[in-house]
Amino acid sequence: MTTTTTQIAARAVDLVKTYGSGGTTVQALNGVNVELVRGEFTAIMGPSGSGKSTLMHCLAGLDSVSSGSVSIGDAELSGLSDNKMTALRRDRIGFVFQSFNLVPTLTALENITLPMDLAGRKPDREWLDTVVDTLGIRDRLGHRPSELSGGQQQRVACARALASQPDIVFGDEPTGNLDSRSSAEVLGILRSSVDRLGQTVVVVTHDPRAAAYADRVLFLADGDIVNEMRDPTEARVLDLMKNMED
């Protein structure tokens, strides 16, 4: 259990992201200000084109920002070289994508330790065992991704995200390709990583049921945060979304 709930894991200040140039400019983020609290599970929601994915990409150092600033912990992202940015993603951020999470030529275990292997670091065995056992994938470690089910693949991806004990774990529609049972498993894993391990998790989703696992839900529309909800339930999220559309 953690006691640093008030600390900020990631922050965006006046974040603007525009695509294209000249007459065809599209403003995806319109001066977003947000603070993501350490040890919390945050869900980002919003309709298609609201900028929810762009916000996550910018916060996670996957995409550059047009103006404003983004920081992970005490590290300011804007102005970092590609190498520093890559090292930051590798060492301080965990990722769970919707698909294409795993390298097909590596085993599940090799995929889990990939960020640490890339850094040339030895994984913490004890922690690795904890993660692997918590996720229930011990008997799958020697398998290649093609030998795993979709749910198993996402659990391995979660294990990779958690194994390096990152400052923050980002999920981009992590359950988008899963059936409801596997979805519940993966979300349960992320939830318990927050509760039991004190992890910080940010998930982009369009699924109210997924958002209900979070401590806090941020609603985006037209490139800005328009609403926020704490301790959401599926029904309240659905209600709010309906209201937003009206």
Partner 1 sequence: MARRPMGRVSIRNLRAHKVRLILTVLSVILGTAFVTGSYVFTDTLKSSFTGIFNDAYKGIATHVEPAHSYDAGIPFADLATIRRVPGVDRVAPGVERPAALVDSKGTKVASGGAPSVADTWTVPADRIGDPTRFESGGPPTRSGQAVLNAGAAHKGHIRVGDRVRIVLSNRPVLTLTVSGIYRTKTESGGYIGVLLSPGQARQVLSDGRHYTSVDASAKPGVSEQELTARIAKVAPSGLTVETGTKLRDDTNAQIQTALSFVNYLLLAFGFIALIVGTFIIYNTFSMIVAQRLRELALLRAVGASRKQVRRSVLLEALFTGVIGSVLGIVGGVGLAIGLRELLNAFNVGLPSGSLLLRPRTLIVALVLGVGVTLLSAYIPARRASSIAPVEAMREEFALPSSSSSTRRTILGLALLVLGVVLTVLGATSSSTSHGSALIGAGLLGVGGAALMLSPVLARIVIPPIGWVAGRPFGRPGTLAPANAVRNPRRTAATAFALTLGLLIVSGISVIGASAKGSVEHLFDNNVRADLVLTAGQQGTVPQPAIDAAAKQSGVGSMTQFHLAFGLLDGAEEAGSGIDGPLPAVLALPAVSGSIAPVGNNLVASESKARERGWKIGSMHTLTHPGVGSVRLKLVGIYQDSQLAGAWLVSGATYRALTPANERAAEVGLIRIAPGADLSQVQSRVEKATNPYYVVSVDTRTQFKGQIAAQVNTLLGLLYALLALAIVIAILGIINTLALSVVERRREIGMMRAVGMMRRQVRRTIYLESFLIAVFGALLGLALGIVYGVLFTKLLKDQGLDVLVIPWTQALAFLVVAGIVGVLAALWPGVRAARTPPLAAIVDA
List of residues contacting partner 1 (CB under 8 A): 53, 57, 62-63, 82-83, 86-87, 89-91, 95, 97-101, 103-106, 114-115, 117-120, 160, 172
In the complex, the smallest distance separating the C-beta of residue 26 from partner 1, rounded to whole angstroms, is 14
C-beta closer to partner 1: residue 106 or 141: 106
Helix boundaries (H) for 150-233: 150-163, 180-197, 208-211
From the CB of 98, what's the least distance to partner 1, in Å?
7
Q: How far apart are CA 161 and CA 219, in angstroms?
A: 25
Helix, strand, coil fractions of the chain, as percent rounded to 5: 40, 25, 35
In the complex with partner 1, the residue whose CB is nearer, 95 or 219, is: 95
N-to-C CA span, the chain: 41
Nearest to partner 1 of 172, 215 (CB atom): 172
Minimal distance in Å, beta carbon 62 to partner 1?
A: 5
d(CA 55, CA 194): 21
**Smaller CB distance to partner 1: residue 86 or 233?**
86
Q: How far apart are CA 131 and CA 127, in angstroms?
A: 6
Tell the smallest beta-carbon distance from residue 81 to partner 1 (Å): 10
Tokens matching residue 2: 């953690």
